Structure 1
Amino acid sequence: MTESPIVELRRYTLHPGQREALIELFDREFIETQEALGLRVIGQFRDLDDENRFVWLRGFADMTERAAGLDAFYGGPVWQAHRDAANATMVDSDDVFLLRPAWAGAGIDGAKSARAAPGATDQPAGLLDATVFPLHAPAGSDLLALCREVLSPVLRQGGARRIGWYVTEHSPNNYRRLPVREGEPVLVGLALFDHADAFDAFARSGAWARNAQPALAPWLAHPAEGHRLVPTSRSALHATL
């Protein structure tokens, strides 16, 4: 499997108590039906620190395929049948970044994990540390070298089993029905740990604060936004062997 050249990071704010309803609907109706149209559902997650947040990643072969696939899905029978139920769970679904892998091979979806079959309810292992780094300017070669040579080694030594780096895709949004945050250059880091305890141990070690954060600080326009994410039962991105 190759990495998705275009990726959406989608962060939804939900009405209180509605996350499980959306997850059940999403895992049942919105995975195979999107992938049949050429879209890739990379992974979907609960945010451990916000019970009203649902986060997911969707991949595309290119921007042309993005527009065609989204038009086919959102104009098709499955979304039409379930959109009212899905939208009823949501306060906001517009917090979306359009991204691309920071360099060839930087995407996290290049090595596919097995997705559980429809109807699965077991919780797969893994915690995905997803961090958005707002930048003063679009990421350049110096920042990407820092990711490869400093930031990734800190994460690997801290126990991350898979790492992905993404930067803003600057092509105009070509599916205007779904807004994205344009004009906001970001770096997005994804680090998959075996479980929450493994990530917490890494955080307590202080390795990131000592060895990564000071080097990264000159590029940041605002403080980073971090999320501790755990996969839903049918997420394809997880740490279960």
Structure 2
Amino acid sequence: MIVELRQYTLRPGRRDDLIALFDREFVEPQEKSGMAVLGRFRDRDRPDRFVWLRGFPDMAVRLRGLREFYGGPVWREHGPAANDTMLDSDDVLLLREIVPVPRRADRDGSDLTATIWFRDRPFDDEFTEWFADQGTGAVAVLSTEYAVNDFPALPVREGEHAFVWFARHDNTIEVPTRFGVAATDRLRLEPATRSAPH
């Protein structure tokens, strides 16, 4: 599966407005267009950050789904209100699953931690095998998808090599220097409103 990890920086105090609008108007129409809304989260450390995951079986379905949703009546009606909550919506990593993301990663109401490692070259089998030996109990593992973003109206971060580990705990792993990890980002994620069990 192809997965977008989307981090939106919102206008101060507007996160709950976007979450309510998203829950009410955007989940079902995206899923009817062949996309999977895998999870929606508040960033615990950045009060004006909304993080969500959207999945696609492949890049062709992604293109069709994005065209249908963003060219359709729901986005025409409610998109301006969503955009009004945002300062930046372009912080997006395009990823491919190594360990699949659960269909609703936020469904049981548990917090997640996402650890994102970056380096100056793709993450290879050697790194993946080393990571698998760490016994992390990962909920999901992903790395950069290198296909061209064929829906440029929604930019993604390009020229970066990322490896993303989702876990239900706040453990850290010391990556050996031989792997050349240049930067690490950690997101402490709380499931948003409708993500709780129901």
TM-score for both structures, normalised by structure 1: 0.77
How far 1:59 moved relative to its partner?
0.1
1:125 maps to 2:109:
yes
**AA partner of residue 18 (structure 1):** R
Q: Quick check: 1:136–1:219 contact (8 Å CA) kept in 2?
A: no
1:107 maps to 2:68:
no
Q: Quick check: 1:126–1:230 contact (8 Å CA) kept in 2?
A: yes
- Equivalence for 1:232: 192
Q: Using a 3 Å threshold, how does the CA distance of structure 1 residues 183 and 214 change in structure 2: closer, same or farther?
A: closer
Q: 1:188 aligned to 164, 176, 180, which one?
A: 164
Question: Matches of 2:23 and 2:9 in 1, distance apart?
Answer: 18
Q: Quick check: 2:43–2:189 contact (8 Å CA) kept in 1?
A: yes
Provide runs of 4+ in structure 1 moved above 3 Å.
Answer: 112-115
TM-score for both structures, normalised by structure 2: 0.93
Question: Matches of 2:43 and 2:111 in 1, distance apart?
Answer: 10
How far 1:76 moved relative to its partner?
0.3
- Equivalence for 1:213: 174
Q: 1:52 aligned to 33, 37, 48, which one?
A: 48
Q: Deviations over 1:43-84 (max 9, x none)?
A: 000000000000000000110110010000000000110111
Among all aligned residue pairs of Structure 1 and Structure 2, give the percentage whose two residues are the same amino acid.
43
- Equivalence for 1:143: 127
Question: Matches of 1:175 and 1:54 in 2, distance apart?
Answer: 22
Q: Deviations over 1:76-122 (max 9, x none)?
A: 000110111100100000000000012xxx11225x5795xxxxxxx
How far 1:219 moved relative to its partner?
2.5
Q: Using a 3 Å threshold, how does the CA distance of structure 1 residues 129 and 225 change in structure 2: closer, same or farther?
A: same
State the SS of the aligned residue for 1:46: strand
1:7 maps to 2:39:
no
Q: Using a 3 Å threshold, how does the CA distance of structure 1 residues 177 and 148 change in structure 2: closer, same or farther?
A: same
- Aligned CA-pair RMSD: 1.9
How far 1:221 moved relative to its partner?
4.1
How far 1:223 moved relative to its partner?
2.3
Query: How many residue pairs end up in the alignment?
Result: 198
Q: Using a 3 Å threshold, how does the CA distance of structure 1 residues 18 and 233 change in structure 2: closer, same or farther?
A: same
Question: Matches of 1:146 and 1:114 in 2, distance apart?
Answer: 27
Q: Using a 3 Å threshold, how does the CA distance of structure 1 residues 62 and 82 change in structure 2: closer, same or farther?
A: same
Alignment of 1:9-48 (within 5 A): 9-48=5-44
- Equivalence for 2:62: 66
Q: Quick check: 2:102–2:139 contact (8 Å CA) kept in 1?
A: no
Question: Matches of 2:101 and 2:64 in 1, distance apart?
Answer: 24
Q: Using a 3 Å threshold, how does the CA distance of structure 1 residues 221 and 125 change in structure 2: closer, same or farther?
A: same
Question: Matches of 2:8 and 2:114 in 1, distance apart?
Answer: 14
Q: Deviations over 1:166-193 (max 9, x none)?
A: 01000000101000011101101111x2
Q: Provide structure 1 residue ranges, at least 5 long, that are not aligned to the other structure.
A: 116-123, 157-161, 194-198
Alignment of 1:78-89 (within 5 A): 78-89=74-85
> Over alpha carbons, which structure has the higher Rg?
1
Q: Deviations over 1:101-155 (max 9, x none)?
A: 12xxx11225x5795xxxxxxxx631110121112210111001012111xx1x3
